[in-house]
Amino acid sequence: MTAARDVRSPAVRLALLALALGGFAIGTTEFVTMGLLPDVAHSIAASIPRTGNIISAYAAGVVVGAPVIVSLGARLPKRGLVAALILLIGLGNAATALATTYWSMMAARFLAGLPHGAYFGVATLIAASLVAPEFRGRAVSSVMLGLSVATVAGVPVGTWLGQHLGWRSAYWTVVGIAALSALLVVTLVPHVPRDDDASPRRELQALRRPQVLFAAGAGMVGFGGLFAMYSYIAPIVTGVTGLSRHTIPWFLLAFGLGSVAGTVIAGRLADWDVERTVLGGFVASIATLLAFAALAGHASAVLAAVFLIAALGSVLAISLQVRLMHAAGDARMLGAALNHSALNVANGLGAALGAVVISAGWGYRAPSLVGAGLAVLGLVTFAVGLRARQTATTAGAALVTVA
């Protein structure tokens, strides 16, 4: 298919909408579990801390599923593959809704997480193929917008349904959204020819490219800064800012709106200069996390910082995804999927390190300082990668000149 249209074309917009709806289903199932955790724990007769492991099970599914599914599905027609992946997401949520024991719930959440990264890898590759090169960043961000909108709309609605109609209703709703998305993908997304030269070996070759490893490593470490802070937003609001627990939803809303805003501008920034966008995103994240730690006692400052951190997180996630697609060469699909594996590792790393400093008695401001440190490491990792590429390019040019 010739990439000759831009994101304003009606046909492209409808195709991107179908793909974004799948992202909306993923975002809803990933985050609605947090709001329904006590209900789920009571239903499966487990403590809340133990039931919290189902969140880790989902993240483990993402980390494992992205490279495995993308590699095995490298030769499959892309439209059919992305439709199958969103149906698998529906299957994982149906299994979640039917689970009655702790271990069946763990298995169901692992299953639900398996297609997450692979879906975004294939969906963003399709989106990029629908448009000319100068619009690819915006096409990728359009697909990712579904994930951001889920934090504003899908998660609150799913939580409300779960609290009033039983927690299982939230996951059955995701099943319905996934089925609708699969139908729209088959109907609205154009056929993308299969790549007969693709193979699991070629896809996995991307893991041997230094620039892929540097970009993934930057996200794996640096993106943890966001989760180090946000994982503990509720106790920060009540224990440091001194507000009532009833105000916490406003901070969650600010995070969701920031995520949407960041996703909207990320595509244009990535189309402008993806590398400068990543570097600038890390620098701005470091400054915002440090300001958050210093001003956590002021409600308005915390609200603004949560919005900014979410926006910068979206900018980083999307620009790193585009960077990985470029760096992966022929294995762009794995590059895009690998980003979601890296971000889920960052999720666990940030939350875990935040717990360490809180347990050490350093208070709830400390995770933001840890987050700033992680963002510094992400910035350094990415900068070292760019420097290594420049050195290799210079050396290669010198060899050509000598020859």
Tally of structural domains, the chain: 2
pLDDT of residue 2: 42
pLDDT of residue 100: 92
The pair of three-digit structure tokens given for residue 17, joined into one six-digit string: 């909408």
Q: Give the separation between CA 142 and CA 136, rounded to whole angstroms.
A: 10
pLDDT digits (tens, 9 = 90+) for 176-228: 999 999 999 999 998 877 666 655 666 666 667 888 888 889 998 998 888 88
For residues 290 and 269, membership in a common domain is answered with yes
For residues 179 and 210, membership in a common domain is answered with no
The domain boundary residue, chosen from 196, 219, 246: 196
Is pTM beyond 0.75? Reply is yes
Q: Which domain holds residue 333?
A: 199-395
The domain boundary residue, chosen from 196, 217, 251: 196
For residues 6 and 25, membership in a common domain is answered with yes
Using pLDDT thresholds of 50, 70 and 90, give the confidence band for residue 230.
confident
Q: Of 114, 106, 60, which is closest to residue 87 (Cα–Cα)? A: 114
| pLDDT over 70 percentage in the chain | 90
Kindly report the CATH number assigned to the domain that includes residue 218.
1.20.1250.20
Judged by average pLDDT, the poorest of 76-90, 122-136, 359-373 is: 122-136
pLDDT of residue 155: 79
The domain boundary residue, chosen from 158, 177, 196: 196
pLDDT of residue 344: 81
